[in-house]
């Protein structure tokens, strides 16, 4: 891909591939033909536990065995430092020019423990509170704020996290659904941002072009030189805390952390 180091924008995308071989192939072609610089991927097709069918010139960041989330980076100007690579969450520090971003791809399967999946995201957010951040993923959560559906329990929990960390929901609630399948339609794939102005993201949409997945692709443009930027502190509502429950939760959370994952 041609150098974009002096360009004013980059093209991003996100897609749940529904472990479909043809979807992997189609996305690989789209990345090249449409000039997509980076793409968050959920539930890719794998062969012998590895993500396949993407051009060798692309950099792939996925867990080593049966990954469910990750990134394809096609822009050779991006300097990438992996922060966390796990099966359901991949976080990358990405630099281009004077700009540094945290890119997060997360997949929260409907049958898995939602709190456990969010715990991994919370740890990344706490360790990178002042970094410009993009979070892309299929949360399988349904709050009414980003789609014409009634909120469910997972959606309410996700909204709590969004409010706590002052995340911005980029999704347009008038968009096409991101999932169209036999079970109906859903608005469950999200783009969340932190620490930079909403004017830094443009032309966000859910596109209904053929991708051979039961999910539809999310497209957007990112302007790294956006001047509007606001840093906020994390919110903790102490009047609502059950301190015994909080102590138990914190103990459980710290048990999962390693010395390498905690920065002072």
What tens digit of pLDDT does each residue of 50-101 get? 899 999 999 999 999 999 999 999 999 999 999 999 999 999 999 987 889 9
Q: Does 244 reside within a domain?
A: no
CATH of residue 119: 3.60.10.10
CA Rg value for the chain: 18
Q: Judge whether 89 and 120 are in contact, CB under 8 Å.
A: yes
Taking Cα atoms as reference points, which of 186, 174, 179, 252 lies closest to residue 217? 179
Give tens-digit pLDDT for 81-90: 999 999 999 9
Q: Does 1 reside within a domain?
A: no
Number of compact structural domains in the chain: 1
What is the share, in percent, of the chain residues with pLDDT greater than 90?
A: 69
pTM equals 0.83
Taking Cα atoms as reference points, which of 173, 158, 167 lies closest to residue 205? 173
Q: Judge whether 39 and 64 are in contact, CB under 8 Å.
A: no
Q: 209 falls in which pLDDT band (50, 70, 90)?
A: very high
Give tens-digit pLDDT for 100-112: 999 999 999 999 9
Q: Does 82 reside within a domain?
A: yes
Q: Does 253 reside within a domain?
A: no
Range of the domain at 122: 10-236
Q: 243 falls in which pLDDT band (50, 70, 90)?
A: low
Q: Does 104 reside within a domain?
A: yes
User: 44-48: which pairs have CB atoms within 8 A and are 24 or more residues apart?
Assistant: 44/17, 44/19, 44/70, 45/17, 45/19, 45/20, 45/21, 46/19
Taking Cα atoms as reference points, which of 27, 105, 134, 37 lies closest to residue 77? 37
């Amino acid at each position: 891909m041609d150098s974009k180091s002096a360009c004013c924008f980059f093209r991003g995308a996100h897609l749940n591939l529904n472990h479909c071989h043809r979807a992997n192939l189609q996305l690989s072609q789209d990345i090249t033909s449409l000039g997509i610089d980076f793409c968050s991927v959920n539930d890719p097709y794998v062969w012998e536990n590895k993500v396949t069918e993407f051009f060798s010139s692309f950099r792939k960041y996925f867990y080593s065995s049966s990954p469910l989330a990750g990134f394809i980076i096609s822009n050779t100007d991006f300097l990438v430092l992996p922060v966390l690579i796990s099966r359901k969450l991949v976080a990358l520090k990405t630099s281009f020019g004077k700009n540094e971003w945290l890119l997060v791809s997360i997949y929260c399967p409907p049958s898995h423990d939602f709190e456990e999946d969010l715990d991994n995201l919370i740890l990344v957010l706490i360790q990178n509170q002042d970094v410009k951040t993009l979070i892309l993923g299929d949360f399988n959560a349904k709050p009414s704020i980003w789609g014409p559906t009634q909120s469910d329990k997972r959606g309410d929990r996700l909204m709590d996290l969004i409010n706590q960390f002052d995340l911005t929901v980029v999704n347009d609630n008038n968009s096409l659904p991101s999932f169209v399948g036999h079970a109906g339609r859903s608005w469950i794939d999200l783009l969340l941002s932190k620490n930079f102005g909403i004017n830094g993201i443009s032309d966000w949409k859910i596109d209904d072009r053929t991708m051979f997945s039961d999910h539809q692709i999310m497209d957007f443009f990112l302007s790294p030189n956006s001047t509007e930027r606001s840093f906020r502190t994390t919110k903790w509502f102490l009047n609502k805390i059950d301190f015994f429950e909080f102590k138990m939760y914190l103990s459980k959370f710290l048990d999962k952390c390693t010395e390498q994952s905690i920065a002072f």
